[in-house]
Amino acid sequence: MSLLTHPLIKNGWFKEVNNESFPGQAFSLRVSKILYAEKSKYQDVLVFKSTDFGNVLVLDGIIQCTERDEFAYQEMITHVAMFAHGNAKKVLIIGGGDGGVLREVVKHPSVETATLVEIDDMVIRIAKKYLPNMSCSFENDKVNVVLTDGFKFLKQVAMDSGRYDVIITDSSDPEGPAEAFFQKDYFQLLYNALAPNGVVISMASENIWLNINKLGHLRKVANEVFPVAKISNCTIPTYTSGQIALLCCSKDPQLDVSKPSRALPRDQEIKLFKYYNSQIHQASFILPTWADQIIYERAGC
């Protein structure tokens, strides 16, 4: 069998195309070698070595991360929430089986426990083998991994009166098992699982160049549950259109998530992070005028 034989790979190129979330556009990466290709109980899983972006994880035909640029997304979805809160001790990650968010969470000395809830254990297993720089914190003493559905876990948290300071939803796109993470019932579960000053952040799937009305609707739905719900932007070349939006919410109506409650000296930021810093934290919430008007339903000029 050829090293490049796979339905999603043709003439040596992986192409992300014909996805309902990204109408009228496609994205391609040149493939060096297929490393893993199986169907788990929940999704199609593909890992390949690219010629320019390192190893690449693909779920259901959509790129989840590449070794070359993963840090941009992992750092922003983690540190925007963590620094907005300022002193998170108990952190919950829904999804994120590749370990990238977990790696970033445990960089915060305030963290006492980091619980990762992943429904598909295959993602964790292949990340440990093919994405070692992302999956390097699974053995950290602060980490607890729970293999279950995120919805079920959050319902149990409410029953047990458990509360988290920060909850990070690092799901795949809203098709298949991740679809429920983009609905009002899920935001209500998040709200119930948070401490009074808690912060949540979620991958929003869309960005302002894709279906901006869908992105605005998602923020509006979250705002029906949370008093604070804001959109942040992260640039990352291997996500469609080169950007991904993040939805950051606070249970505390007085907390402005667009401003870090705690910031590090510049030399420490450089040591710990490649992408995140306190300035980009604030700047990521500033949207182009037309996008701001649509997402926040502001009146035009």
List residues with catalytic annotation.
170
Least Cα distance to 59 among 5, 139, 119 occurs for: 119
Residue 119 in contact with residue 148, Cβ under 8 Å?
Answer: yes
Distance CA 204, CA 190 (A): 15
Question: Which residues are registered as beta bridge partners of 29?
Answer: 14
Q: Quote the Cα angle for 181-206-18, to 5°.
A: 100
Q: Among residues 1, 69, 73, which one has the least CA distance to residue 37?
A: 1
Helices 184-193 and 212-223, axial angle in degrees (round to 10): 40
31 beta partners: 50
Q: Do residues 150 and 94 touch, judged by C-beta distance below 8 A? A: yes
Q: Show the beta-strand stretches assigned E in the chain.
A: 9-10, 13-16, 27-39, 44-50, 55-59, 62-66, 90-95, 113-117, 143-146, 164-170, 194-203, 228-235, 243-250
Phi-psi label, residue 211: left if phi above 0, alpha if psi -120 to 50, beta otherwise: beta
